[in-house]
């Protein structure tokens, strides 16, 4: 038994030496110091102008529909024009590929005023990224049989362009609403009394 003791001591010394050199043992995992926060995931910065393109907006369009005075027939003047209740217009908006995206057909109230509201859309969905460029208004019909001839005053036939008059507000969901204006647009009387007396 005493003869085996030195061999046992020798084997245990060899094993201890191997562990001290790093052989025969598995490396302990390294852990970061507790005060070092984990690295944040990389998020690429948005390209210039991308924030505006992804902005959500509700487009509103307003305007007036009038009946041109017989005294101004054949001219672009609206002097003496009267409100045309019940007149219908079409408000059309085009998408980024210049295709019809959406439209509304509002009816003018007693004062000839119309208002169209569209759903929430990203600005980038509109042609040119701008509702003023993408949307236009055309005259559609008049309820007044005496004043139902379409004129192209302010683009009533070809498509009236929109103006930004600075009317903006944010709804309760934080989405910007923008009111654009068109017109005023006009129908003209079908028949006018002669201006000359013979």
Domain boundaries, the chain: 54-188
Under 8 Å CB-to-CB from 115, ≥6 apart: which residues?
A: 60, 61, 62, 106
Residues 88 and 116: beta-carbon distance below 8 Å: no
pLDDT by residue, tens only, the chain of 198 residues: 445 445 554 445 444 554 444 444 444 445 544 554 444 444 444 444 444 557 899 999 999 999 999 999 889 999 999 999 999 999 999 999 999 999 999 999 999 999 999 999 999 999 999 999 999 999 999 999 999 999 999 999 999 999 999 999 999 889 999 999 998 999 999 888 776 655
Query: What pLDDT, on the 0 to 100 scale, is given for residue 192?
Result: 86
Could you tell me which CATH class the domain 54-188 is placed in? mainly beta
Under 8 Å CB-to-CB from 143, ≥6 apart: which residues?
A: 85, 86, 87
Q: Cα–Cα distance between 190 and 106 in angstroms, integer?
A: 23
Residues 66 and 184: beta-carbon distance below 8 Å: yes
Query: What pLDDT, on the 0 to 100 scale, is given for residue 115?
Result: 97
Query: What pLDDT, on the 0 to 100 scale, is given for residue 70?
Result: 93
């Amino acid at each position: 038994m005493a003869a085996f003791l030195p061999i046992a001591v020798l084997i245990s010394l060899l094993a201890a030496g191997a562990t001290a050199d790093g052989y025969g043992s598995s490396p302990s995992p390294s852990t970061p110091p507790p005060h070092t926060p984990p690295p944040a995931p990389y998020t690429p910065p948005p390209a210039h102008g991308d924030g505006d393109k992804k902005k959500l907006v509700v487009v509103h369009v307003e305007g007036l529909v009038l009946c041109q005075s017989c005294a101004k027939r054949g001219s672009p003047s609206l002097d003496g024009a009267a409100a045309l209740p019940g007149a219908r217009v079409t408000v059309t908006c085009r998408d980024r590929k210049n295709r019809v995206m959406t439209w509304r057909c509002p009816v003018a109230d007693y004062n000839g005023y119309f208002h169209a509201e569209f759903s929430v859309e990203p600005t980038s969905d509109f042609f040119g990224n701008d509702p003023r460029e993408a949307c236009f208004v055309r005259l559609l019909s008049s309820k007044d049989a005496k004043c139902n001839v379409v004129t192209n005053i302010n683009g009533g036939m070809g498509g009236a362009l929109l103006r930004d008059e600075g009317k903006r507000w944010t709804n309760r969901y934080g989405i910007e609403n923008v009111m654009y204006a068109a017109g005023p647009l006009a129908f003209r009387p079908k028949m006018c009394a002669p201006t000359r007396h013979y």
